[in-house]
Structure 1
Amino acid sequence: MSRRPLLLFPTPDTTSPSRRNGGGEEPHKPSVTRQGERLSPQFSRLEAALENRRIEVQNDTPGVDPEYTVVIETYSSVPDFFKAVRQIEGLEWLGEHEARDLEPDEDFYSLGSDSQSLLNGQVMLMLSDRRAIDELLSLWREYGQNPNMPFTRGWAKFRDLFSLLKDIRYWNTQDRLRNTGILEYWNDVLEFDADTSVRFEAELWFRTDIVKRENAHNNVTRLTQELGGQVISSCCIPDINYQSLLIELPAGQIENILRDSRVNLIRCDQVMLFRPLGQMSVEPLWSDTAESSNQVEEEVVNYEASRVEFDRLPRVALFDGLPLANHLDLRGSLIVDDPDDFESDYPAENRIHGTAMASLIVNGDLTEGARKLESPVYVRPIMKPDVRTANNIECLPDTELPLDIVHRAVRRLFEYDGEQDPVAPSIKVINLSIGDPNIHFNGKMSPFARLLDWLSSKYNVLFVVSAGNHSQSITVQQSGLDFHHLSDDRKATEIFKALQESNWERKLLSPAESVNAITVGSTHSDESTPVLRNGLYNIYDVEMPATYSAQGNGYARAVKPDIVMPGGKMLHNEAIGSSDISAVTNYAAPGQLVAHPSPSASNYRVYIRGTSNSAALASRGCVEICDTLEGLFDENDQNAQFEQYSPLLLKSLITHGASWGSMHDHISNHLGSVNSSTLKNVVARNIGYGKPDIDRVKFCLDTRATIIGYGVLENSEAHVYKLPIPEGLGGADIWRRLTVSLSWFAKPCPTHMKYRDSALWFTVEGENKDLTARSSKSVDWRQVKRGTLQHEVFEGEELAVITEDRTLLIKVNCKDNASRIVEPIKYGLAITLEVAEGVDIQLYQEIQEVIEEQIREQARAQLRAQVPTR
């Protein structure tokens, strides 16, 4: 069957949007009297805590009127409560985020069929002076005494708040320290070197008033200096509500804090939290404890890379460690941009991770022998070896905050800085195969994820991010000997169930929750042949989610990871005398074969595994699709449109060919008897929309047509696309499949729980508006609308009702979400209609003929409109 090129839709019609379904139900709520009983102690504790803090501040700094951060937690959400906050003078809205998986109790529980199902709520943060708190408390007391009291205009949201309130408290020292990893980090650093100075991050509450931001910066600096420390650097990015300081304190002061946290710096109300410096080290899922058999003995290699001129523009950027640009597998394929001169302090033998990621993007898994990319890869080193660690682990330097490093690197690609032109404005995709092991996604967007969302929106670039690795041991229910005697299938089932039961310990690593990025998890697959011996397990003999791959969902329960790619098989050691099964980490097979530094071979290769690999392979796939798109747009004289819309079309197309495939059945077999909803949730949490088929979206067939659309939408606007239906499908009992993928970049709104400034979604319209033949092996139809990528599959013998004009209508809708849409929203759309191979219908040809005629008619209409009337 011959390959056919992709098709472009004609300009769509503009209309008004359709109704957007969705929205959760409120839980059962207790009476006002019962709420009073529950909450009165909490309000009393809040009053006492604020009074104690006022006395502390007055003793330390007489005459200063302190401000406090108040935390409000609710069951369910209170929409637009921030508007009500403005009614109380002295309350300043700091932000809100979703609270996930709240345990029901006798007062709050689901009204659905399962009263024990988990609830989702809201966490709100406000800055307040004491007078504002007194007013809030007074309002609560009045409402408790008179539940029917009238609320003045603008205050009615407080009634909703009181009815759903779970807790109200003061943000204290423990909030700044717990669940951030900082205490563990301080202990680990002091255990390694008790005399060292310790660097860490202090993230401040972001204030919209620049004077208040400067005051907070100066105050935290003063408190740091009083402890004999210093502020190494700072970063403030107002667009994502981020202000943070990189602090260094002497080891002795850290020891004092660990013994007694009543230190002015730690108690400072202007600090939101302290966390380990997010160096995002890439201590990978491999090591040199076992030698690979792929070493080739040659002369000692000089890895100094020579300048190479390229015929094509780079389309993908790799932000990672410094690679060996002169390795035989990479030579002539990389543009290394090193403005910070990392190379001068980056020995060749330590250039491991960047070399591996560059190898996967350029070559794919070397075992497969695929063609090199035709365009070069732009590389910006953002990591370097940490000489203080035993293995010189590659990580972000500790002289700057990570967000500042990445922000500068992206800005350098696309902006003129007053001295130098943008260095690589042709970039469409940025690969980030790194993650912060200290920040596991728990429902609140991390600063790094917010940064990627803002940068993708600002610069129109697609980030491809690894989901994150979790290499800790897997604890099964059986002891080592009992587990050993299980069948291979039963072992796989026990492992998979253990991973699902510990999913809270295996969440996405920041910034993988980014709503605009493509987040990539791993499957347990590669092209190598593992050599097994006694005491080693190859857990899965079929393609499954990798045991090390982080699990979703994303923000507001959106689909995350978006897709999965092969990440390499991970072997595990047999448990002896325990129930813990540990991973095997070495450079030997199985895994994916990549370039690697060696002092004696210029083509040395090793086997590796991890979600970093999967992200790199996804980026490679994006470049392959980008080459196809560039040719298509060039042939249609739409080069300007290619530059504008290709990042979004790449986001849609890399997902468009994705499916759950056999992994759905394998997961179902291991889960056992669960309902379809639970099964879908587990599958989506592990593999998102599934594994992409890159070749599938690069061309069409006689029986399969993929048509691409794009455009910009204002608030309350929609575009209608008309998909021609071949006559042969009318009334025929022929299996057919419709796949639709829509993506856009939302501007982040950090203080709003809805987070995305805009909501786009597609609907099937006309006589097919009730189309419900969704594939049983696809993500729940409600979940697909929670992010910025909606991918749905419809299939069956009665999929499309043939209308009188043989047209299927797909509408792309746009509405405000968390804020007013300031600039029109660009989107990318891919639609595929197909029938089974062998069916005697020239589906592609018939669709192509109709679309080409529609384009010609639009061109004629434009010419007629340009002719002046007499």
Structure 2
Amino acid sequence: MPHDPEKPLLRLNNPRDVARRASGGGGGQARRFDRNAQVQAHGPVFRQLSNVLSRQDAALQLRADANSLAPERLLVFEVTGSIQNFANAVARISGLEFAGEEELEADELDKNPEFYLLVPQLGALREIVSLWEGWGRNGTVPRNYTPWRDLFQQLRAVRPWGPADRVSPRNRDYFRAIVDGAPDNELFRIEIELVFRGSEAASRSAEDDIAARIAETGGQIIHSSRRAAFAYHAILADVSAVEIRRIADLDLHSLAGADPIASIVPQSVGTPIETADRLGLDAARPLPANPEPIAAIFDAVPVQAHPLLDDRLTIDDPDDLEARAVGTRVHGTAMASLVLHGDLNEQPSPVSRRVYFRPVMYAPALGDELFDSDKLVIDVIVEAVMRMRAEGGTQVIVVNLSLGDRTKPFAGKISTWARALDYLAFTYGILFLVSAGNTGDGITVADYADAAAFQAADPADQASSIFRGLDALKADRRLLAPADSVNALTIGAWHRDSSQEVFRGASPFPPYADREMPNLSSRLGPGLRRGTKPEALFAGGRQPVRLDPVAAPPVLISHPNPSRYWGLKVAAPPENGAMGLHFTIGTSAATALATHTAHRIFDALETAYPQLIGPMPLAQRAALLKALLVHCASWRDAETFIRPIIDPTTTLHHEHWRREVCRHLGYGFVDPEDAIACAADRATMWATGTLPVEGSLAFDIPIPATLAASANIREVRATLAWFTPIRPGHLAYRAVKLKIDSLQPDSLEIAGVGTSTSQPSNSQSESGTIVHRRWRDARIGTIANGASIPLQVQREKDQGTPIDEAIPFGLAVTIEMPGAAQIYDQVRANIQIQPRAFVRVQG
């Protein structure tokens, strides 16, 4: 049944403290090598190091050889699998700094290889050699150094961090392209991330060293930032073309060979949006009644005087980007319009409050809107959040970031921008909504010889071939930073909008006829450690495709231009002095629509439960919105289309094929109206709280008697969301994991449901900071009057050093049986805290 605004979300009854359930076991054993084989394989490296260390000028000798293990040089110890308590064992060696750990790609020998990064002083190098020599002689290490023995047994390689580690192949190609044909002394702006050192003195020394190297080649530092809270130390610098060429060639004597540097990357570049098909203003919209924002937008300078934005935004522009925004202000204007009003093709859905707007980009006279080129964008975002909290946005709990860095697609390692968002989200209790990013790269449809053969095919076969071509390119369509953030929600674009006008032409055309699917241009997951990304798909406009007229096999290209036939209607910058509207498409728009939905959820909760929402801590408010935004997401049977293509013989393990479906769909498509209110046949309940170390709570979910009256399809779903503290540089980056335990067999019998495969697998769902579980079937429940089932949420054992803080969470639970009109009323009858009575406003 359609949602009913007179049926608000219901507050779950208070939980009970319960004993934790045992968690699943860990992974398999890592491969270990015979000691004699290890001495033969790695002995020469340690013998050479030992020989040099015996000299008086050992430090100078080691530093002179770029390939040696040297003092203050980042070292890589590559191992077959995790070494338990290794970081603690490192701390026992004076002068040895643990600089991080990362996963390596699995191979046929090792399922979970890793590497550890260490920065030694001279004395620490001597102690490592001593440990190796002792283990090599008799297989033992001193007491409390057992992890070093395990490291030696699992060691695959030991080497210094080198030029190829600092500059990825993708970035080498980028650097070659930007300096192609440029004179040697022309300057280009790049970002240099330094190896993070805990000591401020060591950090200053490293930065001074790199500044001197840059100056020697004719360049200069423009901006630098060190943020210990998330282990970030970076430099924005102008570097000469000749030096860029040497970096791209991995010259050991260039910056690519400089010991203090962790990585060299292009300067951050934002992602533009396309807009088109101008219309005049069609109707006025009401002004928000409350001046206190709970939502913010970080974006390009908008057209503040637009009738749809005027007196609705609290603008905070400390860098005066307004003065530099002399071009067409497209991006920020469109995002503000969507956050405030949603798609203007829809019925009005005003938000109750003004929206805080922080410009972080501006429109130059020509070209796309830009970040401030004189600042590291990560530092800009951190400063913006800190300023917002101190001044005009003290109550903000949602920040819209319809931005992405198109030079930094996700490649398995968390981006520094994502690290910043993760820190800010936990520290300030903020839900960041981040766009997954778009790509306009063509898709080869290899099943057909040419465009004519494709056009002559059956539409269903065309759709399957298109998806097969897309799936073949999935590695090249990964999320753009900061969409890999663990604490943020990442939003993809659903091929959907509310345009009622019908396009009569033959091209462009929809890629998937009559199927719920993402836009072909929407970037794909997964996220860190194969976590679910993007989490949710919101309407991003029905983006059609067109055929490359000459390619064979045919190549499909996402049509870049929105129109009244496909796209979301938004406020447009003035043209010839007149304000108006136009259309946009993509993940930026979908993210702004998600922020609009989050605000509407908050408004509905505040209206129904002012006594609960008013005193609720900001972090719990934000976590609740995070849970409710994803809670009604579903695959809408899209997996029945995708699975036969990725698993044509139906032989893939259910974990595997669901992971591949999840890459495209996340938790699924979200209809905003289902997130805001209930229906007669659907009751959604919510709760917030905190979980201490290894805490566990059980919520009793009231089960309506109607579930025992028929064998119709029914569903129970639960969504748990939280913000985790982070451990930068560690594989256990997400320091805190919460989970929803499986329903017990008696609970499944009472509700008449069973586990469902139409969702991401439990292991993938539990890799992030939002867990979404669905139970579905069509069995008659075994329900006594007033029955309930316990839903247990618990905090797993913290990874690494325990986090003392209690972790705030939000929880949403729904019971639904389509067509059963008594569901909501029967559940509500068992709820202790009732929502405030709905008051219908007469028009």
Write out aligned runs for 1:72-111 (5 A): 72-100=77-105, 102-104=106-108, 108=109
Length-normalised TM-score, structure 1: 0.85
1:427 to 387, 393, 396: 396
2:359 to 355, 377, 381: 381
1:615 counterpart = 2:615:
no
Distance 2:568 2:819 in 1: 33
Against the structure 1 CA distance between its residues 175 and 638, is the aligned structure 2 distance closer, same or farther, given a 3 Å change threshold? closer
Distance 1:456 1:489 in 2: 43
SS at match of 1:715: coil
Query: In structure 1, what is the equivalent of residue 471 of structure 2?
Result: 500
1:584 counterpart = 2:588:
no
Q: Which amino acid aligns with 2:811?
A: L
Query: Does the 8 Å contact 2:162/2:256 carry over to 1?
Result: no
Query: In structure 1, what is the equivalent of residue 323 of structure 2?
Result: 344
Alpha-carbon offset, residue 742 of structure 1: 0.6
1:121 to 113, 116, 123: 113
1:233 to 204, 223, 229: 223
Distance 2:259 2:693 in 1: 39
2:450 to 480, 502, 512: 480
SS at match of 1:622: helix
Alpha-carbon offset, residue 484 of structure 1: 4.6
Alpha-carbon offset, residue 318 of structure 1: 0.9
1:67 counterpart = 2:36:
no
Cα shift readout 1:724-760 (whole Å, capped 9, x = no counterpart): 2344546964543211111111011103211122121
Against the structure 1 CA distance between its residues 382 and 476, is the aligned structure 2 distance closer, same or farther, given a 3 Å change threshold? same
Distance 2:793 2:736 in 1: 13
Alpha-carbon offset, residue 467 of structure 1: 0.9
Alpha-carbon offset, residue 538 of structure 1: 2.9
Alpha-carbon offset, residue 272 of structure 1: 0.9
Query: Does the 8 Å contact 1:570/1:591 carry over to 2?
Result: no
SS at match of 1:782: helix
SS at match of 1:546: coil
Distance 2:833 2:557 in 1: 61
Q: Which amino acid aligns with 1:754?
A: A
How many equivalent pairs are there?
810
Query: Does the 8 Å contact 2:735/2:799 carry over to 1?
Result: yes
Alpha-carbon offset, residue 213 of structure 1: 1.4
Query: In structure 2, what is the equivalent of residue 414 of structure 1?
Result: 389
Cα shift readout 1:755-814 (whole Å, capped 9, x = no counterpart): 122121122567647888222211112221111101111122459765898331122212
Query: In structure 1, what is the equivalent of residue 334 of structure 2?
Result: 356
Against the structure 1 CA distance between its residues 443 and 369, is the aligned structure 2 distance closer, same or farther, given a 3 Å change threshold? same
Query: In structure 1, what is the equivalent of residue 20 of structure 2?
Result: 17
Distance 1:362 1:395 in 2: 23
Query: In structure 2, what is the equivalent of residue 554 of structure 1?
Result: 527
Distance 1:728 1:258 in 2: 68
SS at match of 2:637: helix
SS at match of 1:470: coil
Query: In structure 2, what is the equivalent of residue 294 of structure 1?
Result: 278
Against the structure 1 CA distance between its residues 42 and 546, is the aligned structure 2 distance closer, same or farther, given a 3 Å change threshold? farther
Against the structure 1 CA distance between its residues 726 and 123, is the aligned structure 2 distance closer, same or farther, given a 3 Å change threshold? same
SS at match of 2:755: coil
Distance 1:312 1:639 in 2: 16
Distance 2:649 2:516 in 1: 21
Query: In structure 1, what is the equivalent of residue 829 of structure 2?
Result: 849
Alpha-carbon offset, residue 197 of structure 1: 2.1
Query: In structure 2, what is the equivalent of residue 491 of structure 1?
Result: 462
2:202 to 186, 207, 212: 212
Against the structure 1 CA distance between its residues 677 and 265, is the aligned structure 2 distance closer, same or farther, given a 3 Å change threshold? closer
Query: In structure 1, what is the equivalent of residue 774 of structure 2?
Result: 793
Query: In structure 2, what is the equivalent of residue 283 of structure 1?
Result: 272
Alpha-carbon offset, residue 659 of structure 1: 0.6
Distance 1:470 1:19 in 2: 43
Distance 1:730 1:260 in 2: 69
Cα shift readout 1:243-286 (whole Å, capped 9, x = no counterpart): 111112344544565567343644221111111111x32233x3
687-696 vs 666-675, which moves further: 666-675
Q: Percent identity over the alignment?
A: 29
Against the structure 1 CA distance between its residues 139 and 479, is the aligned structure 2 distance closer, same or farther, given a 3 Å change threshold? farther
1:691 to 669, 691, 713: 669
Distance 2:490 2:407 in 1: 18
Alpha-carbon offset, residue 531 of structure 1: 3.9
Alpha-carbon offset, residue 360 of structure 1: 1.9
Query: In structure 1, what is the equivalent of residue 314 of structure 2?
Result: 335
Distance 2:729 2:410 in 1: 17
Distance 1:45 1:176 in 2: 25
Query: In structure 2, what is the equivalent of residue 574 of structure 1?
Result: 548
1:633 to 592, 597, 609: 609
1:825 to 807, 813, 822: 807
Distance 2:347 2:415 in 1: 39
Alpha-carbon offset, residue 558 of structure 1: 1.4
Query: In structure 2, what is the equivalent of residue 806 of structure 1?
Result: 787
1:624 counterpart = 2:624:
no
Q: Which amino acid aligns with 2:14?
A: T
Query: In structure 2, what is the equivalent of residue 402 of structure 1?
Result: 377
Alpha-carbon offset, residue 214 of structure 1: 1.7
Distance 1:497 1:443 in 2: 23
Query: Does the 8 Å contact 2:711/2:780 carry over to 1?
Result: no
Query: Does the 8 Å contact 1:182/1:274 carry over to 2?
Result: no
Q: Which amino acid aligns with 1:681?
A: R
Q: Which amino acid aligns with 2:636?
A: G
Query: In structure 1, what is the equivalent of residue 839 of structure 2?
Result: none
Distance 2:49 2:627 in 1: 48
814-823 vs 456-465, which moves further: 814-823
Query: Does the 8 Å contact 2:684/2:814 carry over to 1?
Result: yes
247-256 vs 641-650, which moves further: 247-256
Query: In structure 2, what is the equivalent of residue 448 of structure 1?
Result: 417
Query: Does the 8 Å contact 1:704/1:834 carry over to 2?
Result: yes
SS at match of 2:214: helix
717-726 vs 528-537, which moves further: 528-537
Distance 2:79 2:508 in 1: 48
Length-normalised TM-score, structure 2: 0.88
Alpha-carbon offset, residue 638 of structure 1: 4.8
Cα shift readout 1:612-643 (whole Å, capped 9, x = no counterpart): 11111111111111111111221x45510164
Alpha-carbon offset, residue 316 of structure 1: 1.5
Q: Which amino acid aligns with 2:271?
A: V
Cα RMSD (Å): 3.4
SS at match of 2:538: strand
Against the structure 1 CA distance between its residues 154 and 768, is the aligned structure 2 distance closer, same or farther, given a 3 Å change threshold? farther
Distance 2:745 2:249 in 1: 70
Q: Which amino acid aligns with 2:529?
A: A
